[in-house]
Amino acid sequence: MFKILKNKTLHTRFLNQKLFITTLLFITTFQGILPATAQPQVIPFLPEIGNSNGWLPQNSQQSNVTTCIRLDGRCLFSITYPKAQIADRVEIIQTRLARISTLYFSQENPNLQIEKKGENNPRIYVTIGNETIQLITIGNIDLQTEGIDPETKANLIIEQLEQGLERGKQERKLESLLIKGLISLSILGGNFIINKIITRHIKRLKISQETIGEEKRRDQPMSMLLTNRHNWNIKEVQYRLLQLAEAGIWIGCSLIIVGLFPYTRISQIWLITLLRIPARLGIVGLGTYVVIRLSYAVIAKLTSALMIRNLLDFRENQRLELRINTVTVVFRSVVTVILTGVGTIIALSVIGINTAPLIAGLGILGVGVSLASQNLIRDAINGFFIILEDQYAVGDVIQVQEFTGFVENINLRITQLRDPEGRLITIPNSEVKIVANHSSNWSRADLLIPIAYDADIDQALYIVKDVAQTMAEDRQWRNYIVDKPEILGVDNFEERGLIIRVWIKTKPLKQWEVSREFRRRLKVEFDQQGLPLPVPQQKIWLTNGNINNKDHTDHIVV
């Protein structure tokens, strides 16, 4: 009991760690949505990302753009400028700030003075030693965006600049670098341990999936097949989420370690900006895949529960299994198409494409395609009624026109048959007008047995009846024969002899096996009773041309 509780506790800790790292990646990826002025420092190691670094394309009608001025990758203050000129202004200010930081960090005890000049458009000057540098001129656009007066804006920039320079100097000290180096090693060590645990779980899930996959290929009841499908899809979701967690841990740890040091923190910004679009598309794609797999698991679970609540006798239950399998395949196809379309629209929206005109355009395109693809619509409608009316299902043997075969696949558009020669025949559902189902609910072995004209017909009928009855009582074959065999008697006179017809009602698709075994047993019994099967023969009459002259008439049996 203690061992079980301990394992559960470890599993809970592992899930909490995985959730934390995944949340870390999520925050890293989505942090740039907040504006620079309102965005809190959620994680100490991750910098704020202003709107200028956002992953969404800027609106072409937006005249002004707000962005951050950074020191060591951290946002000191924000500026606003027309979109066409914002890049030049940022470059000038960043160049001046780089010169200021170089002077400040290179001196042991720098003499720093920051002052503002002017009233309406104040200018910020920074003096370090004997060198004075103009950092920024605060414009009206900067003030209008934030809704503050020039003096407040200037004081805010001076305060943030002083704090940023002092923080940067402290971070460059040897003691601070050593501490952050130890933190980096600890993060790497924890990363390797957690990834080792995740890798072990991934391997176990992969082995379990392969085992379930092997069971799916075996001859097993539909209820077990549906249970295996449900379990396989659940494990597939777990497998993909663990892979996402593993990738998230590596990316998150890399970003954290890079963000610890002032020299590499700017690389964190570049990495986040570079990975933002692929990360969001990847999350949408993986989310769509996970939802599809979960829907597969739900479909399998519901159909399995439906079978349990509708337990019928074996024949009807077997037919129900075939129908449920077919409906499950169709539902999975429909769900896949719908969710893939929804995922595509979401993916387009997260990269800044306005999907409203796209959806409207797709609607118009759909009308045009429907007019040009009437055959596809007929296929879909006929396929729907084939499945709804249970005309046939996957696993049946049917005949459509001159084609006969085993139904391997059916969806709303096509039916695929595998004929006795192994050829895969694809038939559009609109072409399925008259269909003969050889395996719906039950089947029948229709046997025509030839008996020679000179044989004892009563003895032959007795032998046929005895063989049929013995086979129906046999332990191996009584599970295939669902009713008492019918000996219909002499059915016809043919060239090779008398024809005795026998009907044996069997389970679906078992009529051919029963027929082959019955013929084998009947031949053995005929041989033992000295009753040979007839061979085709003809009588040829030879005359001398005079029909009335019987003395000159002979015949030869061939």
Residue 270's pLDDT band (cuts 50, 70, 90) = confident
Residue 5's pLDDT band (cuts 50, 70, 90) = very low
User: Mean pLDDT over residues 220-229, rounded?
Assistant: 72
Residue 297's pLDDT band (cuts 50, 70, 90) = confident
Encoding tokens for residue 167?
């923080």
Q: How many CA atoms lie within 13 A of 319 on its CB side?
A: 18
Query: What pairing do the DSSP bridges indicate for beta strands 112-117 and 74-82?
Result: unpaired
Question: Above 60 in pLDDT, residue 277?
Answer: yes
Average pLDDT, the chain: 78
Q: For the ranges 31-35, 105-109, 523-527, 534-538, which has the lowest average pLDDT?
A: 31-35
Please give the residue that has the higher pLDDT: either 179 or 316: 179
What are the backbone angles phi and psi of residue 122, rounded to the nearest 5°? Answer: -65, 150
Report the distance separating Cα 445 and Cα 529, nearest Å: 24
The pLDDT value given to residue 426: 92
Please give the residue that has the higher pLDDT: either 535 or 1: 535
Question: Above 50 in pLDDT, residue 58?
Answer: no
Question: Above 60 in pLDDT, residue 94?
Answer: yes
Under a CB-based contact definition with an 8 Å cutoff, are residues 202 and 239 in contact? yes
Task: Work out the angle at residue 9's Cα, subtended by the Cα atoms of residues 5 and 11, and round it to the nearest 5 degrees.
Answer: 115
CA-closest candidate to residue 65, choices 81, 48, 89, 88:
81
Residue 178's pLDDT band (cuts 50, 70, 90) = very high
Under a CB-based contact definition with an 8 Å cutoff, are residues 508 and 500 in contact? no
User: Mean pLDDT over residues 413-435, rounded?
Assistant: 89
Please give the residue that has the higher pLDDT: either 76 or 541: 76
Question: Above 60 in pLDDT, residue 20?
Answer: no
User: Mean pLDDT over residues 8-18, rounded?
Assistant: 44
The pLDDT value given to residue 280: 84
User: Which residue is associated with the tokens 């007839």?
Assistant: 534
Report the distance separating Cα 550 and Cα 544, nearest Å: 9
What are the backbone angles phi and psi of residue 119, rounded to the nearest 5°? Answer: -110, -60
Question: Above 60 in pLDDT, residue 465?
Answer: yes
The pLDDT value given to residue 185: 92
Question: Above 80 in pLDDT, residue 219?
Answer: no
Q: How many CA atoms lie within 13 A of 126 on its CB side?
A: 25
Please give the residue that has the higher pLDDT: either 28 or 479: 479
Q: Exposure of 550 by Cβ count < 10 A (0-12 exposed, 13-18 middle, 19+ buried)?
A: exposed
Q: For the ranges 148-152, 293-297, 365-369, which has the lowest average pLDDT?
A: 365-369
Q: What percent of the chain has pLDDT over 90?
A: 4
Under a CB-based contact definition with an 8 Å cutoff, are residues 298 and 331 in contact? no
Query: What pairing do the DSSP bridges indicate for beta strands 403-410 and 397-400?
Result: antiparallel
The pTM of the whole model exceeds 0.75? no
The pLDDT value given to residue 186: 92
Please give the residue that has the higher pLDDT: either 549 or 4: 549
Specify the CATH number for 443-539; select among 3.40.630.30, 1.10.3720.10, 3.30.70.100, 3.30.465.10: 3.30.70.100
CA-closest candidate to residue 261, choices 386, 171, 183:
171
CA-closest candidate to residue 256, choices 16, 31, 25, 19:
25
The pLDDT value given to residue 275: 80
What are the backbone angles phi and psi of residue 354, rounded to the nearest 5°? Answer: -75, 110
User: Mean pLDDT over residues 182-187, rounded?
Assistant: 92
Q: For the ranges 100-109, 132-141, 172-181, 310-319, which has the lowest average pLDDT?
A: 310-319
Q: Which residues 6+ apart lie within 8 Å of 503 measured at CB?
A: 444, 445, 446, 447, 485, 486, 488
pLDDT tens readout for residues 361-389: 777 776 766 666 677 778 888 887 887 77
The pLDDT value given to residue 417: 92
Question: Above 90 in pLDDT, residue 12?
Answer: no
Question: Above 80 in pLDDT, residue 357?
Answer: no
Cross-strand bridge partners of residue 80: 66
Report the distance separating Cα 223 and Cα 302, nearest Å: 11
Q: Exposure of 531 by Cβ count < 10 A (0-12 exposed, 13-18 middle, 19+ buried)?
A: middle
List, by residue range, all CATH 3.30.70.100 domains of the chain: 443-539
